[in-house]
Chain A
Amino acid sequence: MSSQDNDQLTDHEYDGIREYDNPLPNWWLMTFFGTVIFAFIYWLHYEVGGGPSLKAELNQAMLALQAHKQQAVVKELSEADLETMLKDPQMAAAGALAFTGKCAACHGPELQGGIGPNLTDAFWLHGKGTREDIMHTIQKGVPDKGMPPWESMLSQNEILSLTALIVSKQDTNPAGAKPPQGEKVR
């Protein structure tokens, strides 16, 4: 009970409540002044001194990402590599896993179609059901028709595995298949 005994009481009294006349704590004052100075400098930098706008910062960051992407070495797969990978049952199995999570909501768990078309029949809306055609549709999507583009979400490998799955499921005639859409190719 030592320190506060030295404190000066003011002569105020309200319903029995008294008040000390203690000075403002120094560290508190310093914090306050510090934040005010920081605020001022920050404001000067961004609003007067020509600091970058949010838009400029975003553009910068997007360019950096772009450059980064180009640097990332994507192994160029040869045509033959691609074909072997496409036949690899492990690829199709990996594709099945991704398909359940990302595609089945629209194309049905057995690829039989639903919101999107049946992917097992001989009818194709886009291309002729070749590896390139399928990969292209998955990558770019058909945004106007409600097929999302996947290239920003899935890696090259995942897209290939999905393609492998679709190729492996051709002519499986799943139950409840959606009526054909598009051109008959086979």
Chain B
Amino acid sequence: MNPQGTQTITFDDKIVRYFLLAMIFWAAAALSAGLLAALQLAYWPLNMNLEWITFGRLRPLHTNAAIFAFAGNAIFAGIYHSSQRLLKARMFNDILSKLHFWGWQAIILAAAITLPLGYSQAKEYAELEWPLDIAITVVWVIFAVNFFGTIARRRERHLYVALWFYIATIVTVAVLHIVNSIEIPVSLTQSYPVWVGIQDALIQWWYGHNAVAFFLTTPFLGLMYYYVPKAANRPVYSYRLSIIHFWALVFIYIWAGPHHLLYTSMPDWAQTVGMVFSIMLWAPSWGGMINGLLTLRGAWHLLRTEPVIKFFVAAITFYGMATFEGPLLSIKSVSALGHYTDWIVGHVHGGALGWNGMLSFGMAYFLVPQLWKTDRLSKKWMEWHFWLALLGVILYYVSMVSAGITQGLMWQALNPEGKLVYPDFVETVMRIVPLYWVRAFAGLLYLSGFVLMVVNIVRAIRHQPVQDGTIQVAATVSRSPNEDAGHRRLEGLATIFTVLTLIAVAVASMISIFPILNLKQYVSYEKTVEPWSPLELAGRDIYVKEGCYVCHSQQIRQLPFDVLRFGAASTIEESMWDRPFQWGSKRTGPDLARVGKKYPHLWHYRHMIDPRAVTEKSIMPAYPWLVAKDTDFIGLRKKLSVLKSLGTPYPDDTVANADIVAQKEAAVIARELEAQGAPQGLEKKEIVALIAYLQALGQKATPNAGERP
């Protein structure tokens, strides 16, 4: 049937349909969780006194759903669809595709169950506990084998630029995930990272920043390079620019993580490296924007008639904004104002809702009529979706940047006497609560637009037959690279291309992380700090479980107004036993690094049960269940022994009797609480362990402790 010497290939588009529908399903979850979280900050009663959905547990659920479920499935849909066409080959193995799909959904489902239950490592975007970390690794490897297997079977000599970005994504995410997740299990649901203190901070933000780079940027650039020229039917603006900005991104991105840690106790050199590499990222990022937007030259009229193009143009524009703002925020003096505030929240949502969201929606509208035999997508509804989404992002961004700058300025303000103008932290919170309402409304707009998309797509594909793409290819294709030179030759050598990418990423990672692996170089043992006592450790694990780090930092920066407000700047030694580190990235509430002994036990007791009982205007959730739940004393033996094996100097008998030691500590605090007027019999309760931890914060440094351990 085929003409002489050709064969017909049918693409596996079923898996693309699966990923696309999964993307829509999880986007609904991610956006709804985000809206609820936004409302909780505007109106605290919406925490509903339900531990599973208090803000501290809901925010990780929202971020993980947005990144790994929504964006993740969007990436997979686009990669499976475009790669088959760019490589002129069906996916390597249908079973691997299915394993990838169902494995990934199972992980998301498990995340949706475990995060509300409080099984969390309290490291941003890496909260999932160790069994899920392993599962992610396995599924990622399946994906990689499937992808590279397809490349190996390609009937196209060269790899198109979109595929370069996919390769960088797959390789780098694997490295990031594995290194950041090296941890020792304590139980099925808990683990401690091997990294400690500043190591953990550096590696976490190397991971966190590059999760944005290689999960939310490079794969989406790949999608852009396929879908924008396809939808506009225009050639890509500049092949040379593709080459330069691809390699520049791969080389430079990896170094920039410490810009999340400016002015902290992270050694200065790391901060300088983070800042200068962030600044150098500006042009390479804009290379992608230029190539995206200028591809549309000569097709601008489509902007009026084609909603898909509208989505793409908006997405690329938001990408340009976010990648200009990122370097800006990495400048130390700008970070001094913006860090810990809602400005950063505005920044990431410009990226997530604007760039990732809009591109995914545009792609979905582009794909539906190809994957199903349908012409029933309503353009009018798409238009409405577009304008609601655009208005939503803009309103979100403007409200949060205003909130961030307002609060940042209030934190800095000093009167002529050199005192803080707003010493009361809640006062600076109350000022921005109206903007929290605006933000929630913006989220509602964005979500409404999304609902229109769901209805539109469901109506378009219901009862419609599916269709799988096919293509005719020559039975044999020459893939000899010998006729090419320079980069063009490299584009034919997939393995070498991949290895070079890996080297670029790995070398940069090694250089920027390696020095910190030897902590002795940075910790001054004269100022060494005692490890957490068994009860304090139990309290710390409650702090981790409840996700207090999403609202509280534990890192007083080397900035005068931070020092005036919270006390002496945090030191490296003070987090030298911290697994995980809990420096946080957002101050919705005050810094807690030195909150120990600031208040009596009873204050904390009342505050945790109902923050409004002591701070009338507080927006912090209430934690009444801490008074009802018992502390897990027995588990402490295992916890201490794991930490000891990692290097925390606990004496052997403390490890062996951890539960008894902790119970004694608890009895003392419970008695003090009772003397101050709290009810009797609290010694077994979680609240006592948490109070022990809070009262120890900033109290552990023993100056001149002498001997190196």
Is residue B276 within 8 Å, beta carbon to beta carbon, of the partner chain?
A: yes
Is residue A186 within 8 Å, beta carbon to beta carbon, of the partner chain?
A: no
* A28:B417 contact, CB within 8 angstroms: no
Is residue B241 within 8 Å, beta carbon to beta carbon, of the partner chain?
A: yes
Instruction: Give bound CA distance, A68 to B419, whole Å.
Output: 11
Is residue A84 within 8 Å, beta carbon to beta carbon, of the partner chain?
A: no
* A55:B558 contact, CB within 8 angstroms: yes
Instruction: Give bound CA distance, A79 to B676, whole Å.
Output: 37
Interface residues of A in 136-176 (CB under 8 A from B): 143-146, 148, 152-155
* B560:A17 contact, CB within 8 angstroms: no
* A72:B297 contact, CB within 8 angstroms: no
* A12:B676 contact, CB within 8 angstroms: no
Residue of A whose beta carbon sits closest to that of B160: A14
B98-106, B232-240, B514-522, B634-642: which lies at the interface: B232-240
* A152:B276 contact, CB within 8 angstroms: no
Interfacial chain A residues near B237, Cβ < 8 Å: 20, 22
* B602:A115 contact, CB within 8 angstroms: yes
* A24:B244 contact, CB within 8 angstroms: yes
Q: Which of A3, A23, A105, A145 has the most CB of B within 10 A?
A: A105
* B242:A62 contact, CB within 8 angstroms: no
* A105:B615 contact, CB within 8 angstroms: yes
* A105:B563 contact, CB within 8 angstroms: no
* B230:A17 contact, CB within 8 angstroms: yes
Which listed residue, B235, B298, B614, touches A9 by the CB 8 Å rule?
B235
B112-120, B184-192, B526-534, B593-601: which lies at the interface: B593-601
Interface residues of A in 15-37 (CB under 8 A from B): 15-25, 28-29, 31-32, 35-36
What class of interface size applies to chain A in its complex with B? 35 or more
* A12:B226 contact, CB within 8 angstroms: no
Instruction: Give bound CA distance, A18 to B228, whole Å.
Output: 12
* B600:A148 contact, CB within 8 angstroms: no
* B419:A152 contact, CB within 8 angstroms: yes
Which listed residue, A57, A68, A72, A115, touches B600 by the CB 8 Å rule?
A115
* A153:B419 contact, CB within 8 angstroms: yes
Q: How many residues of B contact A (CB 8 A)?
A: 69
Chain B's nearest CB lies how many Å from the CB of A23? 6
Is residue A97 within 8 Å, beta carbon to beta carbon, of the partner chain?
A: no
* A61:B229 contact, CB within 8 angstroms: no
Interfacial chain A residues near B283, Cβ < 8 Å: 28-29, 31-32, 35
Which listed residue, B158, B282, B569, B600, touches A146 by the CB 8 Å rule?
B600
Instruction: Give bound CA distance, A115 to B602, whole Å.
Output: 6
Q: A17-B226, A72-B418 are in contact. Are A42 and B275 (CB under 8 A)?
A: yes
Instruction: Give bound CA distance, A58 to B568, whole Å.
Output: 11
Q: A24-B238, A148-B598 are in contact. Are A39 and B248 (CB under 8 A)?
A: no
Which listed residue, A17, A102, A144, touches B597 by the CB 8 Å rule?
A144
Is residue A53 within 8 Å, beta carbon to beta carbon, of the partner chain?
A: yes
Is residue B272 within 8 Å, beta carbon to beta carbon, of the partner chain?
A: yes
Instruction: Give bound CA distance, A22 to B275, whole Å.
Output: 31
Instruction: Give bound CA distance, A24 to B601, whole Å.
Output: 64
Chain A's nearest CB lies how many Å from the CB of B573? 14
Is residue A82 within 8 Å, beta carbon to beta carbon, of the partner chain?
A: no
Is residue A54 within 8 Å, beta carbon to beta carbon, of the partner chain?
A: yes
* B600:A16 contact, CB within 8 angstroms: no
Residue of A whose beta carbon sits closest to that of B271: A54
* A28:B418 contact, CB within 8 angstroms: no
Fill in one digit per residue for B601-623: 1 if any A CB lies within 8 Å of its CB, else 0.
Answer: 11100100000011110000000
Instruction: Give bound CA distance, A145 to B279, whole Å.
Output: 48
Which listed residue, A21, A55, A116, A145, touches B239 by the CB 8 Å rule?
A21
Is residue A50 within 8 Å, beta carbon to beta carbon, of the partner chain?
A: no
Chain B's nearest CB lies how many Å from the CB of A8? 10
Instruction: Give bound CA distance, A102 to B284, whole Å.
Output: 51
Interfacial chain B residues near A39, Cβ < 8 Å: 276-277, 279-280
Instruction: Give bound CA distance, A38 to B278, whole Å.
Output: 12
Q: A20-B235, A25-B290 are in contact. Are A58 and B563 (CB under 8 A)?
A: yes
Residue of A whose beta carbon sits closest to that of B279: A35
Interfacial chain A residues near B280, Cβ < 8 Å: 32, 35-36, 39
Is residue B451 within 8 Å, beta carbon to beta carbon, of the partner chain?
A: no
Which listed residue, A29, A65, A116, A145, touches B418 by the CB 8 Å rule?
A65
Interfacial chain A residues near B615, Cβ < 8 Å: 105
* A42:B276 contact, CB within 8 angstroms: yes
Interfacial chain A residues near B662, Cβ < 8 Å: none
Fill in one digit per residue for B406-426: 1 if any A CB lies within 8 Å of its CB, else 0.
Answer: 000000001011111001100
Chain A's nearest CB lies how many Å from the CB of B261? 11
Which listed residue, B82, B298, B601, B614, touches A105 by the CB 8 Å rule?
B614
Is residue B86 within 8 Å, beta carbon to beta carbon, of the partner chain?
A: yes
Instruction: Give bound CA distance, A160 to B290, whole Å.
Output: 63
* A72:B558 contact, CB within 8 angstroms: no
Interfacial chain B residues near A148, Cβ < 8 Å: 598-599
Interface residues of B in 130-180 (CB under 8 A from A): 156, 158, 160-161
Which listed residue, B238, B272, B416, touches A72 by the CB 8 Å rule?
B416
Instruction: Give bound CA distance, A1 to B88, whole Å.
Output: 32
Residue of A whose beta carbon sits closest to that of B605: A115
Residue of A whose beta carbon sits closest to that of B273: A43
Which listed residue, B286, B327, B563, B603, touches A115 by the CB 8 Å rule?
B603
* A12:B286 contact, CB within 8 angstroms: no
Interface residues of B in 38-90 (CB under 8 A from A): 82, 85-86, 88
* A22:B238 contact, CB within 8 angstroms: yes
Contacts A31-B282, A152-B564 known; list 16 others, CB within 8 Å: A14-B86, A14-B156, A15-B160, A19-B235, A22-B240, A35-B283, A36-B280, A54-B263, A55-B558, A58-B560, A66-B418, A72-B417, A72-B418, A106-B614, A144-B597, A153-B420
Please, could you name 13 A-B residue pairs with CB atoms under 8 Å apart, sorted by A? Answer: A15-B85, A17-B236, A25-B241, A25-B290, A29-B283, A54-B558, A62-B560, A69-B417, A101-B424, A106-B603, A116-B600, A148-B599, A152-B423
Closest 8 CB pairs of A and B: A146-B600, A32-B283, A39-B276, A153-B423, A18-B235, A22-B238, A105-B614, A19-B239
